[in-house]
Amino acid sequence: MAACRQVWLSNDSGILRKKEDEDELLVFGYSCKLFRDDEKAIFIDQGKHLIPWMGDESLKIDRYDGRGALYDLKQYEAQPGGHDANRWVGLSDAERRVEQLCDEERYRALYHNEEEEALYQEEELKRLHKALGSKSYGEVAFNYDEDQGSGKHVEKVGGEPAEEEVEGGDEPFIAPPELDIPINMTLPDSVKLNAIIEKTALFISQQGAQMEILLKMKQANNPQFQFLSFDSPLHPYYRHLLMAIKTGRYRPKTQEQDKEGDQDDGNDDHYLHPSLAPGSSRVELVGYPPGTFFASKL
The rounded distance, in Å, linking the Cα atoms of 229 and 238 is: 10
Number of other CB atoms surrounding residue 128 within 10 Å: 20
Residue 57: alpha-carbon gap to chain centroid: 48
The mean pLDDT of 215-226, rounded to a whole number, is: 83
Strand partners for 190: 172
SS3 49: coil
Among 27-36, 37-46, 153-162, 270-279, the least confident range: 153-162
What pLDDT band is residue 148 in, cutting at 50, 70 and 90? very low
**pLDDT at 247 exceeding the cut of 70:** yes
What pLDDT band is residue 282 in, cutting at 50, 70 and 90? very low
pTM of the model: 0.40
User: For residue 261, what pLDDT is reported?
Assistant: 52
| Domain 168-255 part of CATH 2.102.10.10 | no
Contact 208, 120 (CB under 8 A): no
**pLDDT at 275 exceeding the cut of 50:** no
Give the domain ranges of the chain.
Answer: 41-68, 168-255
User: For residue 17, what pLDDT is reported?
Assistant: 59
Strand partners for 172: 190
**pLDDT at 145 exceeding the cut of 70:** no
User: For residue 181, what pLDDT is reported?
Assistant: 87
User: For residue 40, what pLDDT is reported?
Assistant: 92
Contact 173, 234 (CB under 8 A): no
